[in-house]
Amino acid sequence: MIDKTNIRMWERWSPPRALRNRGRDGYSYLHVFIGMLLALQLAACGSRPVHQPAVVMDVRSAMQLGMQAYQDNRYAEARNFFGRALARYRSVDDRAGQLDALIDLADSALGQGDYAAARACLGDADNILANGNFPDRKPQVTLLEAYADMQAGDQAAAAKTIDGLLDAAGVQADIRQAALFARTQVAFDLKSADAAAWLAKLSASLGENPDALNKARYQRLEALAARAHGNMQRAAALYAQALSAYRAAYFRPGIAATHEEWADMLMTQQDWTGARDRLQRALNVRLSMYDRSHSVRDLEKLAEADKALGDGAAAFQATQLADYLKNGGDPNQTSVQFQQ
């Protein structure tokens, strides 16, 4: 989910849905209230109904709604719901619940490219981990910290963190595979000599029948390998395949990232018209997710393409809108202005 070769800050993929391995069936996060509910059940007479405390119902609803928003790539809404859940968990001193909400908040923030907010949440999560016994949560937090470094352009730090995670014992299989995806991406970003070896390791871990989203993410990495060998035709074919899979799944981050990577390749070929088309389509998706940081980058690249095409007015508009977003402007309003 990041092509920041030469420290370009282009988020390429979001934390995979496989990170959500905590039994998100709507009930798994009620562990702190089990004792309370048992006490109510024991106190109940005969078939008298047991009434769950309001805080139980509220946190359950917030987590469910947050997860629904996250799965639909509506990260701003997800952050609101997870933030509400965090407040409720804090109100009853549920440390495990707080940790889950903080992880979800960080994950959602990264989905919007807001790595500063993600780091703040992960810092709070680290404090809980340092003062509690939650060994199963630590790998998730560590991986998200590496994603934050990748989004910030610190690929070397990300590589070091991921290497430690991959060397650790007892890491869940889905976390380990997500870490392998990230480490392969970092290897290409850094133009490491072992990038092909990492890609081979990733291929072996995926097996012969990976799910559609993992296959699409792998195809984008294959495209980077093809580009490194000067095979732009193969890279374009791989991007087309990945884009088709993402569209079929309605996976917005993947759709936007594929267009951005494709545009980056076209710009190296000085195909400014093709690059501009890809960037415009990526921008439409990023704005729909209220993704301010990636929208800024798309607008800056659009300005570069417009200048190369000799369209000074369009380049000026893109630059102005990028500045508007940098100063806290509303992505939704930017979308309206850009269509005028």
Is residue 236 pLDDT above 70, yes or no? yes
If pLDDT is split at 50, 70 and 90, which confidence band does 275 have?
Answer: very high
DSSP 97-150: HHHHHHHHHHHHHHHTT-HHHHHHHHHHHHHHHHTS--TTTHHHHHHHHHHHHH
Which pLDDT score is estimated for 224? 97
Look at 172 and 47; give whichever has higher pLDDT: 172
Is residue 335 pLDDT above 80, yes or no? no
Q: Between the CA of residue 183 and those of 115, 166, 221, 238, what are the distances in Å?
A: 18, 9, 11, 20
Residue ranges covered by each domain of the chain: 1-177
Of 3.30.1330.10, 1.10.3720.10, 2.10.70.10, 1.25.40.10, the CATH number of 1-177 is 1.25.40.10
Tokens of 63: 């987590």
Does the model's pTM come out above 0.85?
Answer: no
Is residue 155 pLDDT above 50, yes or no? yes
Diameter of the chain by CA atoms?
Answer: 81
Task: Give long-range contacts, CB 8 A cutoff, 24+ apart: 161-165.
Answer: 162/186, 165/139
Please state, in angstroms and rounded to a whole number, the distance separating the CA atoms of residues 184 and 189. 9
Look at 7 and 186; give whichever has higher pLDDT: 186
Tokens of 211: 């799910």
Is residue 19 pLDDT above 70, yes or no? no
Q: What is the mean pLDDT of residues 214-236?
A: 97
Question: Which position has the token pair 């800050």?
Answer: 9
Task: Give long-range contacts, CB 8 A cutoff, 24+ apart: 235-240.
Answer: 235/265, 236/262, 236/265, 239/265
Is residue 10 pLDDT above 50, yes or no? no
If pLDDT is split at 50, 70 and 90, which confidence band does 37 have?
Answer: very low
> Coil, helix or strand for 194?
coil
Which pLDDT score is estimated for 337? 58
If pLDDT is split at 50, 70 and 90, which confidence band does 54 have?
Answer: confident
Is residue 183 pLDDT above 70, yes or no? yes
